[in-house]
Structure 1
Amino acid sequence: MDKMKLSRMAFYGYHGVFPEENKLGQRFYVDLELTLDLSEAGRTDDLAATVNYAEVYERVKRIVEGRPFRLIEALAENVASDVLHQYTNVNDVTVRVVKPHPPFDIHFDGVTVEICRKRESI
């Protein structure tokens, strides 16, 4: 199978367990890896034979910048579910959500959640 990757999409959201996170918000980064057959699109140069990544970006943006989730696991799950429901030619999707500045008094480059969902699991 072929892959389409959307890397380091940046959005501002209000996700987190702590009230300050829901009030102040912060930047989140999302990576998607879609597995699908791109051979027809490659042969025909036809957008209808693939996934419009600009459209995918807008769908992810609506989710991340929409209602707050307590957990980035839930945010990732919602993105994966939306992609698999909207794009029937996508066989599976990997979603990575990065919260670069979690509100802890420790120093590291953020926390990342990565989930993989297959079409048969929706």
Structure 2
Amino acid sequence: MKNQINVEGIRLYAYHGCLPEETKIGGEYIVDVNMVYDFHEAAVKDDLNLTIDYCTVFNICKEEMTIPSKLIEHVGKRIYDRIIHAFPKLIETKVKVTKLLPPMNGPVDKVSIIIED
């Protein structure tokens, strides 16, 4: 059976970027994690130990976002790697990191990267 668990809209303040101002001032980010996982047994038994713990996913994202990176590609890869390591039974995993109001030469609401298998 193929089911999906999504932890979306994780809003965090972090200090990623290539510009010196970004590492000092910081900015807002949103992380979305989509996981395909067979949680049929957990659904039947109502047992958290048989499924993905949302708090673990949140904490991985929060911890990795506190480590400054020049690129959101880098922090996204770290989040992705930790999630697939924490939950080895995942069938598919997708991590999206969005940087709100990036410093650019014009009005841009957001930029994002997606890492998935």
Could you state the TM-score of these two structures normalised by the residue count of structure 2?
0.94
Q: 2:21 corresponds to which residue?
A: 20
Distance 1:15 1:31 in 2: 17
Q: 2:59 corresponds to which residue?
A: 58
2:115 matches 1:112? no
Distance 1:57 1:74 in 2: 18
2:82 matches 1:82? yes
CA contact (8 A) 2:102 2:108 kept: no
Q: 1:94 corresponds to which residue?
A: 94
Equivalent position amino acid for 1:33 in 2: N
CA-CA distance at 1:108 after TM superposition: 2.1
Distance 2:8 2:41 in 1: 23
Identity %: 29
CA contact (8 A) 2:8 2:31 kept: yes
Partner secondary structure for residue 90 of structure 1 = coil
Could you state the TM-score of these two structures normalised by the residue count of structure 1?
0.91
Deviating runs (4+, > 4 A) in structure 1?
A: none
RMSD: 0.9
2:53 matches 1:48? no
**1:20-64 CA distances to partner (integer Å, 9 max, x unpaired)?**
101111111000001110100111100011011012101110111
CA-CA distance at 1:11 after TM superposition: 0.6
Q: 2:38 corresponds to which residue?
A: 37
Distance 2:57 2:33 in 1: 9
Distance 1:91 1:62 in 2: 24
Partner secondary structure for residue 83 of structure 1 = helix
